[in-house]
Structure formats: C-alpha cells, structure tokens
Amino acid sequence: MGVALMALPDSLFQTLVHFAPDAFLVTDERGSIVFANAEAERLFGYDCEELVGAPIEVLVPERLRTMHVGHRGEYAEDPHARPMASGLALVARRRDGSELPVEISLSPAHTEDGMYVIATIRDVTERRQIEAALRASEERYRLLAENAEDVVYRISLASWPPTFEYVSPSVEALTGYPAARFMEDPALLAEVTHPDDRNLLEQWLRNPGAVASPLVLRAVRPDGTVVSYEQRFHATGTGDASVIEGIARDVTVQRRLEEERRLLLAESEIDRERERIAADLHDGVMQTMYSVGLQLSSLVRRVPNLPDESRTGLQEAISALDAAIRDIRGYVMDLRPADFSGDLGESLEGLLRLFETTSGLRVTFERTSGLPIVDEAVAVELFLLVREALSNVRRHARAASVRVTLSADAEALHLVIEDDGAGFDPTSQRRDEQFGLRNMETRARLIGGDLTLDSHPGGGTRIDVRVPMGRLASVSRRVPGQSPD
C-alpha cells in the first residue's frame, strides 16, 4: 500500500531548509552562491548578504581555489548526485581564515533558468578528532602488543578450525613459528600443541566458557623443545560471532622450578624418614646385633671344651654378625651422612672419610689452594650432590676407588666426582639411577650451575659440576625450612 505524501507549502519548505542542522548552499552555473541557510551563516561566519552573490571559492582555502575551479567545471560537464562520506578529505574556509574538515553532498537541479547545484555541508571536526584519537589509541595498543614479550591474540570461533584475527609477533619467540603462519594456517595451532594437550586445546576452542583461566598448554618448537605457556583469556559474543581474546606467557622456567621445588619437598620428607630409619638401625638393630656378637664371643672364650664343630659354627656366626654390622653401618652412612660444618672443603673431607670407612673403597680428595668463599646455601647443595653421587657409587658402580676434586679458575668453581667402576649407558638407566641423576642435576640448577655426566659400560663414571663465580655468593632457591642434613 502506497503512502500519500502531502505537498508542503513553499513557505514551510523554505523554513525547513533555512533552519536545517546542516549548512545548505545553492550555486548557479557560474559558481555563484544564490542561497545560504542559517547554519551556513553560523558555520562559515558570514552574513547571508555576504554569501549570496559571492563565488563558492570564497569558502575554499586559497591554496585549493584554482583546483576547485577545475573540479567545478568537470562537475558541470557531468552533473550527478554525490553523497556524503564519499571518501574525499574535504576542507572548508571560514570568514576569519580558519579551516575546518567537512563532508559535502552535491545534487544537480535543472530548471528553466539553467542548472543549479545544491550542496549540503556538514562540519565533521568532532568526528575527525574522535577518529584521530581512536587511531592514536589503536596505534599505541598495536605498538604495545607488537613489542610485548607476552603474546597478544584474538581468535575467531566462526569456523573450524578457529582462525587468528590477530596474533602479536612475540608468538615466534614462544613457538618458533612467525605470526603470519598462524594467520595463514588455522590448523597450525593444533599442530604445534603437544599431542597430550590437544584434547584440552579442542575443548577450550569449542567451549571456552567451560575452561578456567588461566589455562596452561605446551607447544613443541620446530627443534623439538617443549615450552609451557600460560594464557589468561576471555570469550566475547555468542555463537558464530564469538571470539577469544587473551595474553599468553612462557612459563617453562617457572613450571620447571615448581617441579624441582616439589621434588625437593618430597626429598626433604624422604630425608626425615631416612633419619628416623638410620636412628632405628643404629640405636636398635645394630646395637642388638653387636650385643649378640659380644655374647657369642664371650661364650667361645668361657667354654674351652666346646666341640670343634660347635666352635667353628659360633665363629662363623660371629663373622656373619660382624659383616652384617659393617653393612648396616654403610646403610646408616647413606641414610645419615656426616654433618655439614659450614665450610664446603672441610665438610666434604669429613663425608669422604666416613664413606671410605664404611664402604671399603679407596677415596682421594683433592682441593686446590685459594678457593673462593662459597655461600653456605650453595655449599650445602654441593655437599648433598656429592652425597648422592657417593650413594650411587656404593650401590651401582662396583668400583675400587673414588676421586673427588674441588678446584676453581677465573670463571667458575669446579667439582668433579669420578670412579673406576663398571660405568653404564646413561640412556638405559634403572629408575633409581635416573632419580639420583635428576636429583644431582636439580641441585646444580638451583645454584645456577650445570652438571655434565660422562660414563659408558666398563669405563667408570665422571660427574663434573660447574658453578659460575657470580653464583657462589648467591643464596640458592632451596626449599624454606629444608635441613642440610
């Protein structure tokens, strides 16, 4: 059904145009202004009498007037409606010479007197200021995102696999792949994710609201190294329009330190249990066995007429008890080593003397003169590392001798533990050997050092620990309350 339009009286139409919110100008074929409404007067600072009859170029900045005359001639040859927001960056001139950004729509009007051009002019100063502020804000955020170490991203869930609408360049440092690859290949995110984490990744992408933030995932770099990254995110929108925005951070080191702390806490509990067992063995079982041995020895001495067979049996029992006591002493040494005195060299010397006595192995300890002062917390970790190494030698090496060397050069402190035992293949260790080696590696890392292992079947084992000079006076990240045994 059509809508009937009521014809407006000329006076009403002129009133509407005159008081319209936009400036309204009419020019003739020569480019002279024949009409200007009230908003045009206000916008340009002219009275209506000054505008009517003036060339339209009076409202054009002087530097652009010649060009505008040419454009006006081209328009006269091909008059057509040109809407606002046509993409042109237009500038007008006020009476006082100041300039302002404008949008202008043009419409030709053909009459018996010739063609007129109707121009509607809108001041867009405020809008341009807002747009400029928005562009500046976006540029600041872009620079922040592109220079931040954390990865900033926006993922669209409109398709599967989801696509990155944006990912900052720092993703390359995290994953080893440039940001452009993630933008071009939607499947890459799943490909770089650790296989064990892909189900969690898919669950997150399909229903981000059901997964708690922060979320920790692992990525596999092109060289095969695995990194852990934590991301804090939020999902916006619903259905196909939803997106995930967030920040991802490399937490590989933090996760490793957390695991090391967990292991050391567990080891601390084990050490306390070892202390209890050692005390029970020393004060209970070993004392009982020693007492039984004394009684048997006394019996042999007090009964001179024992049959030879009985005497031989008793002496064998006494020898077996002595051997068992020596074994228990060795176990007690492993469970409860020599006390740490506060000085690394002195404490190692005491530990090695006790080890030699209880193990029956030849032990050599060498330390060069002029060793640097070592912070007690660092020294404790090195002391416990040597204890672990000696325990491994006792249980697995089948060695005849052990050599421990403590030396220093201009760059680092060096601690070497080597034995002449059976050696082993480091790639096929037993579980307890693996735990011992991990324990030593963890202690070396905690004090900022590194540990290298050299061993092969039949060739003995050498452990070399290097601690940079700058870390010898630094307190290690030992678990609070952990005893140095």
The pTM is what?
A: 0.39
- CATH number, span 338-485: 3.30.565.10
Q: How far apart are CA 231 and CA 214, in angstroms?
A: 5
C-beta of residue 36 within 8 angstroms of C-beta of residue 52: yes
CATH number of 148-250: 3.30.450.20
Give the C-alpha separation, 192 to 198, whole Å.
9
Q: What is the pLDDT of residues 134-155, one digit of tens each?
A: 776 666 656 565 666 788 888 9
Q: Which two structure tokens, joined as six digits, stand for 437?
A: 């080696």
Encode pLDDT of 398-452 as tens digits: 999 999 999 999 999 999 999 999 998 887 655 445 667 888 888 888 888 999 9
Architecture (CATH level 2) of domain 15-128: 2-Layer Sandwich (3.30)
Round the average pLDDT of the chain to a whole number and report it.
Answer: 82
Per-residue HEC secondary structure of 309-341 comes to HHHHHHHHHHHHHHHHHHHHHHHHHHHCCCCCC
What is the tens place of the pLDDT at every residue in 189-214? 999 999 999 999 998 888 888 888 78
